[in-house]
Chain A
């Protein structure tokens, strides 16, 4: 048996004998397991609720009576964002974004009823999930278990003894590191249980899960190295503990809060009110459907008349109002897409700026990796919003086309007592409109999105490993 494993074994025996260490370790294991179970049951509960609401909304839509198609455009449809399976491990921004959306004609509504607006202030204290435990609390346990690893030997004078007896400083550091890394692996073990629960879910993807295991593994290994490095560099155990606590506070608690604040002040988002008004102004500039002399809509009318080879809209084989509705929706929808893209560009810039802080805080890098792989980051929300808008557009246009094809123009214009009945079309049509199906991200999308975070973490890890060399040299000199 070589020196490294001997030292590691010795260190582990010492940890096992320390009652506080064992209790802290047991508590963290319990906490991770509790977090995994709570988070898992929470997510399955959410998934069930949303699926139930989605079914209810679909049922209500198809159960509508005979109507004018335009009434259905305004009746609209509700859709709900389903959760990816890995949300049980890292729910990401789910609680902070609305998860239901009302889709109707002419308007783009916000996603509503996010958890954050219907929970107590406690939601801002963080959520008990495996991701939270591993990102925030596990490093602290490693600090507690490892701060004295080298500093203790130095304080007791055993460090010099070992070095004199021919144990190299490098072997000493690696041995201590091995011991702490084994503890770190054990700390991560209960989280793997969460993964096993999730892997059984339909739609669980192996690729992102592998990236996550790799990322969290690198993160815990990194903290083990940081702890050993500080323990070797600082003269006294107490100073090592205080320095590590300070480091943890800055990297895990402080920077993740400061970074978003800087991002929010650097890249400002326009409010919904401003966007709504801007869209209205743009629309007005394009054309005014209410104005019979409007150049845009006059040109449109001419084009339609020419297409069908008639002189009056009354002679068209289709309902002109329906065509007008299709054209109008096309215009507004293009603007919606345009403004949504602008808003997301700003938000992406904000997120990128925050991610940049991953260079100085591995916790930020890991959070990015974790949310991206789980599909619960901003991009995941955008995926939902983009599909929602595409679905809204298709649904509204299908209804508008129904108006053009099945409601007679003369009836549409009529105002007599029986007109209301003549304008209505059969409720069977509502069945032909497909219901919303969320297309989840592919393995490739998720893995690709999580690579920058993983790259940053691995760079951190490589850097920390390299730092062991000069520190070993310094330690070796301490013999003299």
Chain B
């Protein structure tokens, strides 16, 4: 123990080491704070829209009640959906800055609504957010390099290496002690702000533990790389230059090349195609006999087969039916589009096993539920919700029940 405290005193006497450790702690704390502020803002926005949405619904319900046709209410009412950030979202904001976390849908064709975006400034999204995952993935390796590149070579250049090796009881244990000490302090500088943020955000303990494990593993990887380069017995400068080069290739160059390769090899069958097809299918209903549409609709929804036949007058039943049929007609295209996105995501995860920078980012966003899978899950929830709206409104409009205020 005394040896360790001695080493600690030695390490902290070096101005650069102390500065580096303080800087890591500061950056980690700042990124946690920035992430928490962003998540708090998103929660505030979700809370802020609730009364506005309720007011909007009430206004429509009141106005639609006068028309006596529940179809009108169904047509004009937009229902809010939202995707609450997970407790860990502050550590890795993932896609939450570019994909909507609030989306309103109505009982019409969903495929024309599901891919709508939120208003955001793309210039702010372009460089990526300053969150904990950024500090960990990009900056931490640089600090590892700063602290470890001269672990042995520094002593050699100072002329102390032979003496240290000759000292009784030192040898391997000395280096192990130094590596553990530097690595441990680095881990503390990263994990302490993260843990405080996680406790404040009520992150479940197992999740927090996984993230801490991830931090430790990523640190261990980079420390391993530095030690390996250190074994080449080059000068400190050569070590630093080589390591910075490795960092550049692993975190900046290879991921961008992989991105190009993945998007090339896995086309997603443009989402545009499916919305164009859906629009054709929906609007065609006005030009074909309405009975055709209803037949198609009843085939997919036999429970409505026995509802009263259409008259010459406009009926919302038919209107909603052709929207539903339009959605169903593009189902294969929707599935293909989604499979393409999932395949791209899976490929990137696969690359994560080769590139630790990508792997850590992927796992962090998965744990934080801010990745593509989370986005797709939100879309699934919207889809289910949309179905529920239709299930609720369709019987109303089919049978023309009177809309009572507040039922929507």
Contacts and interface: CB of A to CB of B under 8 A. Distances in A.
B256 A117 contact: no
B122 A140 contact: no
A128 B134 CA distance: 19
Interface in B275-318: 275-276, 279-280, 283, 286-287, 312-314
Contacts of B260: 38, 42, 127-128
Nearest to A140: B248
A179 B122 CA distance: 39
Given A121-B94, A284-B59, A75 B121 contact: no
A350 B124 contact: yes
A122 B117 contact: no
Nearest to A110: B117
B115 A271 contact: no
B66 to A, nearest CB: 9
> On chain B, which size bracket covers the interface?
35 or more
B112 interface: yes
A74 B127 contact: no
Nearest to A256: B127
A351 B121 contact: yes
Interface stretch (B6-14, B83-91, B138-146): B138-146
Contacts of B357: 125
Interface in A406-428: 415-417
Contact of A121 (B34, B252, B337, B345): B345
Contacts of B99: 117
B122 A93 contact: yes
Contact of A120 (B112, B270, B337, B372): B372
Contacts of B361: 121, 124-125
A137 B253 contact: yes
Contacts of A268: 41
Contact of B117 (A42, A114, A256, A275): A114
Contact of B56 (A57, A80, A100, A277): A277
A269 B139 contact: no
Interface stretch (B198-206, B234-242, B384-392): B234-242
Contacts of B245: 24, 144
Contacts of A377: 123
B272 A100 contact: yes
B396 interface: no
Nearest to A76: B279
A271 B248 CA distance: 37
B115 to A, nearest CB: 5
Contacts of B276: 53, 56-57, 60, 78
Given A42-B260, A113-B115, A114-B117, A253 B138 contact: yes
Interface residues of A, number: 95
Contact of B286 (A71, A92, A123): A71
A237 B286 contact: no
Interface string B39-53: 001000100110011
A280 interface: yes
A121 B348 contact: yes
B194 interface: no
A241 B312 CA distance: 82
A369 B272 CA distance: 32
Interface string A260-293: 1101110011111111110011001000001000
A110 B120 CA distance: 11
Interface string B221-258: 00000000000000011101100110010011101111
Interface string B90-104: 000011011110111
B237 A148 contact: yes
A96 interface: yes
Given A140-B244, A245-B244, A67 B150 contact: no
Given A93-B126, A120-B347, A137 B248 contact: yes
Given A261-B130, A277-B52, A121 B38 contact: no
A351 B124 CA distance: 7
B354 interface: no
Interface in A139-157: 140, 144, 148
Contacts of B244: 140, 144, 245
B181 interface: no
A381 interface: yes
A53 B256 contact: no
Contact of A249 (B63, B122, B139, B262): B139
Interface in A59-75: 60, 64-65, 67, 71, 74-75
Contact of B41 (A20, A114, A265, A284): A265
Interface in A325-368: 343, 347, 350-351, 354
A471 interface: no
13 contacts: A31-B253, A53-B270, A93-B125, A96-B126, A120-B349, A123-B259, A127-B256, A144-B241, A245-B240, A257-B128, A272-B118, A371-B123, A415-B312
> Closest 4 A-B residue pairs measured CB to CB?
A120-B348, A93-B122, A125-B255, A122-B259
Interface of B: 16, 27, 34, 37-38, 41, 45, 48-49, 52-53, 55-56, 59, 63, 67, 78, 80, 94-95, 97-100, 102-104, 112, 115-130, 134, 138-139, 142, 146, 150, 236-238, 240-241, 244-245, 248, 251-253, 255-260, 262-263, 268, 270-273, 275-276, 279-280, 283, 286-287, 312-314, 337, 340-341, 344-345, 347-349, 351, 357-358, 361-362, 365, 371-372, 375
